[in-house]
Amino acid sequence: MPCLEGMIMTGENKYKGKVLVAGATGRTGRWVVSRLQHYSVPVKVLTRSADKAASLGDVEVVQGKIQSDEDVAKAVEGCSAVISALGSSEVFGDASPGEVDRDGVMRLVDQAAKAGVRHFGLVSSMAVTKWFHPLNLFGGVLTKKFEAEEHLRSVFGEDGRSYTIVRPGGLRDGEPLLHDLHVDQGDRLWSGWINRGDVAELLVVSLWNDKARNKTFEVINEAEEEHRQDSLEKYYDKLAS
């Protein structure tokens, strides 16, 4: 059973290890960085653009590409956890689903395990098991994400490591803790929205919440109406082990 107890702290500093955020300059990645900073967790980022990372505040920056073993090894060095919010943006080339969502995430998983990283949080997607879903017309993105998920489960599901895979519905820019959420498992949902801030918060909470270990789940807003939340930790109580 993975053991993160030694890294848990009390009060606002809930986690004392350093966390690498991949995809930190993206719309969800920025929320991951800001929620880690909210909990006073030291942050390192891997980015293709140091200029873009300049607006992230107090973070350690490794400039590099997810295609490079060397860059990725440098990025995970000294980190006890990784959160990936990487995402493809083109059908072909360096930013394609094959390069980023599958091979890039797999490279990050392998290098993280090699460097002694203990926990890996991944932003995946609702419908990753549905090869016939229309979104898959974009370079097979869902299938590529599912292959990366499988790799993560196999590498971080053992040997004292752990993972948390969040499969959000449609992403909206927006703050965390503004909505009741609906979580499910087994990829049975077909539609729904969620704020990027909530996806980030769920992954940050997974660093110290025991019930988040080795879980894969879908998540959307329960309702459109705002209903302020004190914490998202309760949603991990609803997941099957």
Ligand X SMILES: NC(=O)c1ccc[n+]([C@@H]2O[C@H](COP(=O)([O-])OP(=O)(O)OC[C@H]3O[C@@H](n4cnc5c(N)ncnc54)[C@H](OP(=O)(O)O)[C@@H]3O)[C@@H](O)[C@H]2O)c1
In the complex, which residues of this chain contact ligand X (CB under 6 A)? 23, 25-29, 47-49, 52, 65-67, 85-87, 89, 94-95, 100, 104, 123, 125, 168, 170-171, 196
Q: How far is the CB of 4 from ligand X (least distance, A)?
A: 24
Q: How far is the CB of 88 from ligand X (least distance, A)?
A: 6
Q: How far is the CB of 126 from ligand X (least distance, A)?
A: 6
| Least distance to ligand X, CB of residue 125, Å | 4
Residue placing its CB nearer to ligand X in the complex, 14 or 144: 144
Strand spans (E) along 27-129: 43-47, 60-63, 81-84, 119-123
Give the helix/strand (H/E) hosting 169. Answer: none
98 DSSP 8-state letter: I
Determine whether 43 is exposed, middle or buried from the number of CB atoms within 10 Å of its CB (0-12, 13-18, 19+): buried
Q: Return the number of the residue (4 or 45) whose C-beta is nearest ligand X.
A: 45
Closest to ligand X by CB, 17 vs 97, is 97
At 171, which amino acid appears? L
To ligand X, the closest distance from the beta carbon of 160 in angstroms equals: 27
Q: Which of 51/158 has CB closer to ligand X?
A: 51
* Cα distances (angstroms) measured from residue 129 to each of 11, 133, 137, 141, 209: 39, 9, 14, 11, 26
Q: Which CB, 115 or 219, lies closer to ligand X?
A: 219
CB of 40 to ligand X, least distance (A): 23
8 Å CB contact between 209 and 166: no
Identify which of residues 17 and 29 has a Cβ nearer to ligand X in the complex: 29
Tally Cβ neighbours within 10 Å of residue 129: 15
d(CA 179, CA 198): 9
**Of 14 and 169, which has the nearer Cβ to ligand X?**
169
Gap between the Cα atoms of 184 and 217, Å rounded: 6
Beta bridge mates, 61: 45
- Region class of 161: left (phi > 0), else alpha (psi between -120 and 50), else beta: beta
- What is the token pair recorded at 149? 């998920």
Q: In the bound complex, which residue of the shown chain has the CB atom lying closest to ligand X?
A: 26
Min separation Cβ 41 and ligand X, Å: 19
